[in-house]
A and B are shown apart, each in its own frame.
Chain A
Amino acid sequence: MKSKINIESMHNEYKQKLIRERRFVVFFQLLIFIAFFALWEIASNLKWVDPLVFSSPSKVWNLLVENIIAGTIFSHISITLFETILGFIIGTVAGTILAAILWWSPFLSKVLDPYLVVLNAMPKVALGPILIVALGPTMTSIVAMGAIISVIITTIVVYTSFRETDPNYIKVLQSFGATRWQCFKEAILPSSFPAIISTLKVNVGLSWVGVVVGEFLVSKQGLGYLIIYGFQVFNFTLVMQSLLIIVIFATIMYKIVEVIENALIKNR
């Protein structure tokens, strides 16, 4: 009986320790957050940095509130967000399908191997001008930028993961007379979900790069357009504001991918 009481209190102590530790982490996270913006504000006000270039949090905030009240910012946000999500989905799905084709035909994968290396090494944003001329200065070419930037790396990572599937799972399926498609569906694809998810996380960042660069070039609307416009008219408050919005939405997308991850691979 005595020992049970001890265990109980020790467990409580342990839980208390965890809570204290957690509070400590959150405290420092908040501290960094506040310190960053405070330092930025002070540095800008006291002219430690050029306020024209680096703006200041209060100016950015005022501009944001202004834009929200005027309602002009929402169309830019929704356009960019739509392009990014579409580019992200197309890039990831196309990359996974390409990987599946390579897995399906070992001959094709041997033939295409050097080309994949070349395509992967090539800086995709350099294709921007060609895309815009080919597809027109429209949303299509911006989405294409968002997709093209992630498709090859997705193919390579996912294909590698397909090939690393434990051959014994395939053996189990084949011993039941499974077809190649059944092997893919039952073993190859599900065992590669962790790899696919980790490319999703990378692709979130890549798609934002592609779309923002695309908007730089097309320059009609969207957050990327606001950045390039702010740069041209030397309104760096606008640049900073757009950048902050991008950071916020990119983080939200990343978090959504994490939720999907937990749902898909909860049983491992």
Chain B
Amino acid sequence: MSFLQIQDVSHIYFSKKDRTLAIKDVNLSIEEGEFISILGPSGCGKTTILSIVAGLIQPTIGKVILDRETIVGTNKNTGYMLQQDYLFPWKTIQENIFLGLKLTNQLNEKTKQKTLALLNEMGLSHVKNQYPTQLSGGMRQRVSLVRTLATNPKLLLLDEPFSALDFQTKLKLEDLVFETLKQFEKTAILVTHDIGEAIAMSNRIYLFTNRPGTVHKVFEIPDELAKITPFEARNHPLYNEIFQEVWKELEKLEK
């Protein structure tokens, strides 16, 4: 049995006037330690899937099984990174990265030291007593990564975490996130509309159709590309080949 299984999941949003089938019959499975991407045009229900996996919303139909347990409601097993850092501006960096530990009653000297060590690894230990507004966008997103990893979640959900950054910062952060996740052997799902990012970072790409979102095609990224850092991957000859392939499929979807 796979580490994470999304089984026949469909979700409908109801409002007074309307009902929207956001995603339909989504099936996918991920092995432990894999990095997969969900790629698709905006409005393909990418965020809906992440919200379901995180337990923030209950799917209308179907279920999600993480590590042999069906997900019901929010839980400590998943870490969620949003498009923007959403660090709490009234908390210092240190208070921000301890937030998850505090909420789950795991805050003690040991976990504190571990989290601070992680902050140090990100090259940010000097800002621990500063407030988020004093930091640049890239630094804040790195702090956000530390905050997410602090509780040691089994699965990381990345909701376009690089989309609000400038290109240079984005490339650097892709490498950092990639290496950090590999170091801690984390399983991750990345949601993105950036083809290059998806190819450079993942083991596998699920291409989604638009409204209702469903898996259109799966691209396996060869190991020689998946094993190297995103920056190196972008310069690999295979990268362009896959890019063209994905691009053609995306074009087809628009017709």
Contact = CB atoms under 8 A, between A and B. Distances in A.
Contacts of A193: 90
Contact of B103 (A169, A171, A177, A191): A177
Contacts of B82: 168, 171-172
Contact of A176 (B76, B84, B157): B76
Main secondary structure of the interface of A (DSSP, over half): helix
Interface string B46-68: 00000000101000000000000
B86 A186 contact: no
B90 A177 contact: no
Contacts of A267: 89-90, 131, 133
B99 A177 contact: no
Interface string B65-101: 0000000001110111010101011100000000110
A45 interface: no
A193 B100 CA distance: 22
Nearest to B75: A177
B80 A172 contact: yes
B151 interface: yes
Contacts of B157: 175
Q: How large is the interface on A (under 10, 10 to 19, 20 to 34, 35 or more residues)?
A: 20 to 34
B74, B84, B133 interface centre (most CB from chain A within 10 Å): B74
Main secondary structure of the interface of B (DSSP, over half): loop
B89 A175 contact: no
Given A177-B103, A186-B103, A268-B133, A172 B86 contact: yes
Contacts of A186: 88, 99, 103
25 contacts: A168-B82, A169-B88, A171-B82, A172-B80, A172-B82, A172-B99, A173-B103, A175-B54, A175-B74, A176-B74, A176-B99, A176-B103, A176-B104, A177-B75, A177-B103, A177-B104, A178-B74, A186-B88, A186-B103, A187-B88, A190-B90, A191-B90, A267-B90, A267-B133, A268-B89
